[in-house]
Structure 1
Amino acid sequence: MTSKSPRRAAGASALVLAAALAVTGCATGAQSSTGGTAAAKTGTLVIDQAFTAQSIDPATLFQVTDSIAASGLYETLFTYIDNVAEPQPLLAKSLTANETSTEFTITLRDDATFANGSPVTAADVAFSFNRLKNLAASPAYRMEGITVTEVDPTTVKLTTENPMPYIEHTLTAPPLAVVDDETVRAAGGTDAADAAETDTAGNLFTEPGNGAGSGPYTLDSYDTNSQIVLVKNEKYWGEAAAYDRIVLRNVNNAQQQKANLEGGDSQIALDIPGRTAEGMASDTLKVQSSSSPEVLYLALSQKEGAATADPDVVKAIKAGIDYEGLRTIVGAGAVEATGIIPSMMSGALPSGKGPKSDPAAAKKILADAGKTGTEVTLDYANDYTRLAGIDYNVLAQGIQTQLNAIGLKVTLNPTPTSTSLQRYVDGDTEMALWSWPPDTADPSDVLVFAPGDLIGTRVHWPAEAAPEVAALAETARVATGEARGEAFTAWNAAMNEEAPFAYLLEPSFFLVASSSVEHVSHDPLASINLSQIR
């Protein structure tokens, strides 16, 4: 996801955004984030989505559903407006950077308040960022190499070990949302170095009306299996929330999402596949599509003893996949992946430069290596439909058929998302089918796939196993200016050759909404921002 996504052509140039010496905040603040000044509505907005929910505490938030819910509850220093992949100030008023993009001074708005009425201050920012870092949960990597200092009540300074010309993108990530430090501390929260052992504030974030966020909504209820309910924050500092209540509802079946929309039981559906969605446009329903911010891939474990740790097996799998066949299975809008960097981001390889299907060569690789008949287990989540409504059961069966045809013996291991994901996170899978929903619209987000990084570690691929690829990742991480795009392209190409991942597809995401919803669109991550719906 393993956990978090137009992927619009207009956004591509924005993705190589260099840190400007000064970024000025919008004078109208939160009102500008709606794309208009429509009057607030009343009533309930119901959104159907196939849940991947686990924690709504920003410091431990790592799943797509939680990110959607958090977009109405919490606010970040910067945000994306609609589908434009250029960060805009939200809680920040301005940002200044030094010439090397290693020191950033951020001035905060002076009118933003939390739901409990307390002002948003630099102390809250410092606490939130340090708590994220020191809790050491999955999203803590966002603070790697970053130090935050409170300069005065409305100013914070960020210092980075390496140049981060893309810092505004990083500051849009949901785990970097700002929470009220006094409220969280009172519930047992801490930003101290030992927070991973001593912080006890986790339950606060599932309590109704906890007041820890500054968004236009507050939490009414949170259930990872059924629904998450938000209610209007009557004390919101910006433009009033559009709805009295938002219900984010867990509906795993795409046909049920379709029936709910057509029957008026819901107003937005997020997981209806393209083939179905394209035929739903009418006077009462509108359909939007966005190219993908994420790549569907096979993760091939390099753990000692795993069949996929054999380089010949890895080569055979990459060549044995019929990428066009999989694209046909997925359907409308899907394109073959050219690498781990999605085509909407800087550093993406052009069409035709991705992995090549050659089943005959794959069969020969296995035969020459004496590996014909090798048994491989493919893990996948059998209830996971969040990725553009794709049925992983059908896709996994297609992969099994293709790889069996070249001489492998693939056994499917379908399990619920919670089980399948945990096995992958723990490094216990041999071959696993997943995608990476990015938190930001910048290619630095997918450096987690580099050897020795977050996802590389999950497949037991240390930096010393591919030092040249690791070096290219570090070059891309610190590159600035025009050299940055070139550095990411070089790393992406090297990952195609060396990495134990098979990059399959970039699906298209479809959003179907009632015409009564005046303003809703995918953001650059093919998700939605609840605070911007009108």
Structure 2
Amino acid sequence: MTSRRLRAATAAVVLTALASACTAGGSGGGGDGSTLTVHTSFVIKTLDPGKVYEATGLTAVHAMYDTLLTFTGSDVSKPVPNLAESFTASPDATTYTFTLRGNAKFADGSPVTADDVVFSLSRVKNLKASPAVMVADLSAVKRDDRTVVVTSAKPDPNVPIILAMPALGVVNAKVAKQNGATDGADAAAADTGQKYLDVTSAGSGPYVLKTFDAAAQVVLEANPNYWGRKPAFTRVVIRNADVQNQKLTMAKATGAELALDITGKLLDGLPSTLRTSGVRDTVYFMYLNFDPAVSPVTSNPAFRDALRASIDYQGLADLFGKGAGPAAGLVPPAFPGALPDSDAPKQDLAKATELLKGIANPSAKFIYPAITYRGVDLGTVATKVQGDAAKAGIKLELTPQPLATFLDQMRGGKSEMGFSPQSLNYPVADSMVNNMAPGQGTALRAGWTVQRADPSTVEAGKKVNAALDPAARATGMQEWQRAMNKYSPYIALATNSGMVVATPSLTGAEYTPAGWQVDIAAIGRG
């Protein structure tokens, strides 16, 4: 893929896939035993943590820059200490106080202080690059050298999760300033630090940057001054390779190697000795346009319910291969707030046929992006939906489109119905409420205004946003999804997994839905 996530103004993303894989890269072994080779189809623009937003960049930056908090393995339910040894939150979820470790230091040996944290967070905000959306409502101040207070302009229990993201990696403020970086209000225009940070890292992470070629590879070396547990490999090569070359390489790999893009059906035929790790973090869904002026058919609740009842959800999930399953709701199982698998719908053709009585011409034009994502041609999925719907008497006119055309038509709000993957920019599922609920951005593209919504969906979304405890939000998200399943224009179809495929000699090569795909420093020798 040329990208995993289409970034939006919230953590919820309507399209995950951007385009089919077209990059090329060589294959290679694991070197002399001290080198770990990571194969992936590059999605990278920069290694400046204040601007990084693409998948490959996030993987590398996570290894070079420590954040206040982090996640362990695939568990994104609760952030754990990293540069901050502890933190407290105010009851109203607006003020967070972080106590820094006393032994943390940057790669040049200088200590990590509160000044560095404040500089780093303020710089991300003022750069106004893609990551700035995560911290738009946050401000940071120093209380003393080891204490930072982060304040949110509005109650937000997700602040600790946000501060675990690689873009919030703490930069050596002194070094960054000496090389053109600034955290001032004019940083968007005045900051020139990216040129330096793309060739020399300035973090406190387990690795430092050796070389960066956006077309070929990123080479990391172990940080000799790392304050934490030393990584097992002294050198890491992140190598650009399309997914087919990744599969060929891993099929014969014997050294310390792993691949990040072999998923679903692409796993078929690989040696059983390879280690795989995945978690269901992507959902595939359809939307129907609820504006009668666009389509009197798709805006009819009976048509929506009939289409939902006509689909063979398990059969759809089978198209995605290993690590897939029917979707119980809009939140994938990887994230807090997901519905249990037992909530997944079942095909009921008799119900679908009954619901269609009274609809003279149950047909619609069905658009989707003509791409392959995670090893699955989206046209195959759309064709399966078309066939299932036909069994109930629904006629869907499949209309594959180039990605740019699909995006333009979807954003224009005039398509009768469409189909797309969905993922998250960061592991906060309740951000979907501010994107997909009635009257919000994605909903309006489907003609779903507050006036056209059942009041229960509106109230369920308000309840989520009002909850200040993460557990209460997760429960609220389940209630919201059940209302959305019943009344919204969205039909969740299936979920599938991101994957890490590793050679048998490796341990700790665990896929994470946190955004950085795999924690390179956690990988060891078996």
- TM-score, structure 1 as length reference: 0.77
Measure how far apart 1:455 and its partner are. 5.3
Match of 1:514 in 2: 503
Match of 1:495 in 2: 484
Aligned match for 1:180, one of 161, 166, 172: 172
Measure how far apart 1:124 and its partner are. 2.3
**Worse-matched range after superposition: 166-175 or 419-428:** 419-428
CA distance in 2, matches of 1:197, 1:302: 42
Matches within 5 A, 1:87-486: 87-205=79-197, 207-209=198-200, 211-254=201-244, 256-264=245-253, 267-274=257-264, 277=267, 280=270, 285-298=273-286, 310-312=298-300, 318-358=308-348, 368-369=358-359, 372-382=362-372, 384-385=373-374, 389-402=375-388, 406-415=394-403, 419=404, 430=415, 431-440=418-427, 442-451=428-437, 466=453, 469-481=457-469, 483-486=472-475
Q: Does the 8 Å contact 1:64/1:437 carry over to 2? A: no
Measure how far apart 1:465 and its partner are. 6.3
Which amino acid in the other structure matches residue 87 of structure 1? P
Match of 2:34 in 1: 43
Q: Does the 8 Å contact 1:439/1:445 carry over to 2? A: no
Measure how far apart 1:454 and its partner are. 6.6
Change in CA separation of 1:233 and 1:371 when aligned onto 2, cut-off 3 Å:
farther
Other structure's SS at 1:311 match:
coil
**Worse-matched range after superposition: 226-235 or 170-179:** 226-235
Change in CA separation of 1:201 and 1:453 when aligned onto 2, cut-off 3 Å:
farther
Which amino acid in the other structure matches residue 64 of structure 1? A
Measure how far apart 1:97 and its partner are. 2.3
Measure how far apart 1:148 and its partner are. 1.9
Q: Does the 8 Å contact 1:307/1:375 carry over to 2? A: no
Which amino acid in the other structure matches residue 238 of structure 2? L
Which amino acid in the other structure matches residue 491 of structure 2? A
CA distance in 2, matches of 1:186, 1:400: 59
Change in CA separation of 1:233 and 1:524 when aligned onto 2, cut-off 3 Å:
same
CA distance in 1, matches of 2:402, 2:314: 24
CA distance in 1, matches of 2:406, 2:99: 39
Deviations 1:333-383 (A, max 9, x none): 32111111223444322334344545666677778455544323212433x
Measure how far apart 1:267 and its partner are. 1.1
Q: Does the 8 Å contact 2:41/2:242 carry over to 1? A: yes
Change in CA separation of 1:398 and 1:64 when aligned onto 2, cut-off 3 Å:
farther
**Worse-matched range after superposition: 94-103 or 316-325:** 316-325
CA distance in 2, matches of 1:221, 1:301: 48
CA distance in 1, matches of 2:296, 2:386: 15
Other structure's SS at 1:128 match:
helix
CA distance in 1, matches of 2:351, 2:261: 37
Other structure's SS at 2:511 match:
coil
Change in CA separation of 1:352 and 1:496 when aligned onto 2, cut-off 3 Å:
same
CA distance in 1, matches of 2:340, 2:163: 28
Answer yes or no: is 1:53 the counterpart of 2:44: yes
Stretches of structure 1 lacking an aligned partner (at least 5 in a row):
5-40
CA distance in 1, matches of 2:309, 2:65: 45
Q: Does the 8 Å contact 1:404/1:410 carry over to 2? A: no
CA distance in 1, matches of 2:310, 2:138: 42
Q: Which has the higher strand share?
A: 2
Deviations 1:434-477 (A, max 9, x none): 2204523x543544543366755776766676576455334323
CA distance in 2, matches of 1:302, 1:228: 47
Measure how far apart 1:196 and its partner are. 4.0
Match of 1:2 in 2: 5
- TM-score, structure 2 as length reference: 0.78
Measure how far apart 1:268 and its partner are. 0.8
Stretches of structure 2 lacking an aligned partner (at least 5 in a row):
8-31
Q: Does the 8 Å contact 2:67/2:164 carry over to 1? A: yes
Match of 2:68 in 1: 77
Q: Does the 8 Å contact 2:510/2:518 carry over to 1? A: yes
Change in CA separation of 1:485 and 1:374 when aligned onto 2, cut-off 3 Å:
closer
Deviations 1:235-271 (A, max 9, x none): 33333333232222333334x3232123227711233
Which amino acid in the other structure matches residue 243 of structure 1? F
Match of 2:512 in 1: 523
Change in CA separation of 1:113 and 1:89 when aligned onto 2, cut-off 3 Å:
same
CA distance in 2, matches of 1:222, 1:271: 20
Other structure's SS at 2:229 match:
coil
Q: Does the 8 Å contact 1:42/1:242 carry over to 2? A: no
RMSD: 3.8
Which amino acid in the other structure matches residue 270 of structure 1? L
Q: Does the 8 Å contact 2:434/2:440 carry over to 1? A: yes
Deviations 1:461-502 (A, max 9, x none): 666765764553343234145643432222222222344433
Identity fraction in percent: 31
Q: Does the 8 Å contact 1:3/1:63 carry over to 2? A: no
Deviations 1:42-92 (A, max 9, x none): 532112224443443333333333222222122111111223443221111
CA distance in 2, matches of 1:390, 1:171: 33
